Copies of this chain bind each other. A is one copy, B any other.
Amino acid sequence: MIIVLRKDASEAQVAAVERRVYESGGQSRRVTGDERTLLVVLGEPRLSREEMLPLPGVLDALRVSKPYKLASIEARPRSPVTVGRTTFGAAAIACIAGPCAVENRRMFLDTAARLASLGVTMIRGGAYKPRSSPYAFQGLGEAGLEILAEARERHGLAVVTEVMAPGKVALVARHADVLQIGARNMQNYDLLKACAEVQRPVLLKRGPAATLDEWLMSAEYLLAGGNNQVLLCERGIRTFETSTRNPLDLNALPALRRLTHLPVLVDPSHGTGARDFVTPMALAAVAAGADGLLVEVHPDPEQALSDGAQSLTFDQFERLLRSVRAVAAVVGRELFLAAPPQPEALQPAPARRLGARSPARTAYSGAPGAGGGE
């Protein structure tokens, strides 16, 4: 059960509700989101919604049967996430593009300019790169972050970049609009907790051997930590089949739609590891219900420092966008592309613990049948 508290609930009222849960054999955990406070009830106490609604300070009480509570579809129907001009999880779908790694300033700014000219509103690029080998290129680090920030200022693109260590979250959040948690860190719980602390949307990639339940439990770490701007990103699973690197599990798209309200993106580049596969799998992802795509694009894939084999050229990417738009229309969605933006449109908002929100970030209010307004 999730108990939604009124905004004006007093500390004494909240404590009384917690006591009631405790006396019924359960435990409650207070989650302080940006708009309201929730109590996540654990341990299956004997409590009904009808009992909770009359309690002072209680706005609503939602039954949730899954081990992930806040991430469950039982908690809310949809939870769109807005980043600058782009919203994921509503009617439109959007495409984040860019190179695997920020390799140098020139290459990255050229990419940004070209993407912006196509109407793309979000760019990706790694400043910190998780590499299997300690001897491989590990990213430019802080210098890469500064290049990312410059691309945003010059071209009005929102920036997505990976963070690998809890101690770097604050630094990365100062430069990026979306924090990416990579597949290998999906169950790095200290990192999840650190990312929950900052008010930045988090793009949480699926671990290559993670079940949907495990993935949603990792999302729950973010939500329970007070950050409800979570984007899921499928990028391929580990199977016996080796002809593709990590076969994309597109079945996860309809499956997640039943389980969670979180937007789901697909990364066809890392999943397949091969350029020829990116466009077919991107179209398939949109056909199967993806809320967005994360596509690797590189000005000169043959020269890329990492993952060049899976990067599209600009021309290939432009054709991909056209096909994506057409497939999206078949499934009742629209591809969001901006008119070439005004650089000042997207001022990097300061990272902060709690504060004002964009209107798209609806909270746990107005659930059907809620027991009263406030």
Contact = CB atoms under 8 A, between A and B. Distances in A.
Contact of A250 (B134, B166, B250): B250
Nearest to A328: B330
A117 interface: no
- How big is the A interface, by class? 35 or more
A287 interface: yes
A220 B284 contact: no
A131 B165 CA distance: 18
A167 interface: yes
A248 B252 CA distance: 10
- Identical chains in the assembly: 4
A42 interface: yes
Interface stretch (A52-60, A207-215, A352-360): A207-215
B135 A164 contact: no
A211 B243 contact: yes
A167 B164 contact: no
A255 interface: yes
Contacts of A190: 164-165, 167-168
Interface string A318-342: 0000010011011100000000000
A184 to B, nearest CB: 4
Contacts of A241: 211-212, 237, 249, 251-252
B330 A212 contact: no
A247 interface: yes
A283 interface: yes
Interface in A53-74: 67-69
A289 interface: yes
Interface string A56-95: 0000000000011100000000000000000000000000
B132 A187 contact: yes
Interface centre among A189, A207, A277, A287 (most CB of B within 10 A): A287
A104 interface: no
A209 B209 CA distance: 6
A330 B287 CA distance: 11
Contact of A132 (B29, B133, B188, B214): B214
16 contacts: A130-B187, A132-B214, A133-B220, A134-B220, A138-B189, A164-B189, A165-B191, A184-B187, A184-B189, A241-B249, A244-B252, A248-B251, A254-B272, A255-B277, A281-B288, A284-B285
Instruction: Give the top 8 A-B pairs by smallest Cβ distance, nearest first.
Output: A209-B209, A165-B190, A283-B287, A284-B284, A184-B187, A284-B288, A326-B330, A247-B251
